Amino acid sequence: MPTVTNKRTVMTLFSDPECIYSHRVRLVLAEKNITVDIISTDPLDLPEDVAEANPYGTLPTLIDRDLALYESRIIMEYLDERYPHPPLLPIDPVSRANTRLYLHRIEKDWYSLADEILAGGKGATRARKELREALLAAGPILSARPWFMSDEFTLVDATIAPLLWRLPQLGIEISGAGSRQLLDYAKRAFARECFGKSLTEQEKELRK
């Protein structure tokens, strides 16, 4: 395991300004109003701090004193545990485990399709169709309560919202059955103060 030499007095996030995985971490940081130094980083030109701390050379990478974390979901859960207010994971073990399962499924079922679309290639058209259908099918779940199966904004919402923001970039138009439920959910998420604060200039351009 790499040894992190602490060169910074403030928690630092090395963030790809266009990456959905970095975006969801920035959204959690904004929701909790955490003091952090966010450094926009080119994934093809990593600074020495990231190269030393992260053996995989991926973004986002969080450095907090002598701790280095480099998987977005691990970073999100760490932030929620270290800064417990407002809580973004349920308190009881069963609900917490279910939330982690939802996060896993969104990553495997939705984020993987988004990654495939952005990568281009022969599978992009199929992935675009599958993702659109999956999001529309989730409409009733997203409209049943203010947030994803919850009355409070959670890590699941902090994962879904950045994906919905990127629908124009992904070439996905939401219309037809179930679209109103999905669009209403997206509108609520985008209206949150933390969401606006989480956006980079590059991400703002996705909706202009």
Residue 124 lies in a domain: yes
Is the residue at 128 inside a domain? yes
Phi first, then psi: give them for residue 15, nearest 5 degrees.
Answer: -130, 130
- Please identify which residue in the block is written with the tokens 């986002």: 60
Q: How many domains does the chain have?
A: 1
Average pLDDT score over residue span 81-90: 96
pLDDT for res 3: 47
Please, are residues 90 and 96 in contact by the beta-carbon 8 Å criterion?
Answer: yes
Residue 163 lies in a domain: yes
- Determine, yes or no, domain membership for 188: yes
Question: Quick one: average pLDDT of 139-160?
Answer: 96
* Pair 88, 153: CB distance under 8 Å: yes
* Residue 172 domain-assigned (yes or no): yes
Paired tokens of 19: 């990456």
| Neighbouring residues of 191: CB distance < 8 A, sequence distance ≥ 6 | none
Residues 93, 202: Cα–Cα separation, whole Å = 38
pLDDT higher than 60, residue 6: no
Mean pLDDT for all residues in the chain: 94
pLDDT value for 11 = 96
pLDDT in tens, 40-75: 999 999 999 999 999 999 999 999 999 999 999 999
Give the range of the structural domain holding residue 147, as residue numbers without chain letter.
Answer: 93-192
pLDDT value of position 208: 82
Q: Cα angle at 126 between 15 and 179, to 5 degrees?
A: 75
19 flagged as catalytic: yes
CATH code for position 139: 1.20.1050.10
Query: Do the domain assignments include residue 60?
Result: no
Q: Is 87 exposed, middle or buried (0-12, 13-18, 19+ CB in 10 A)?
A: middle
Query: What token pair was written down for 11?
Result: 């928690």
| DSSP states of 59-95 | S-EEEETTEEE-SHHHHHHHHHHHS-SS--S-SSHHH
Mean pLDDT of the 127-137 span: 97
Out of 11, 13, 19, 155, the active site residue is 19
Q: Would you state the pLDDT for residue 4?
A: 54
Q: pLDDT by residue (tens digit) across 151-187? A: 999 999 999 999 999 999 999 999 877 799 999 999 9
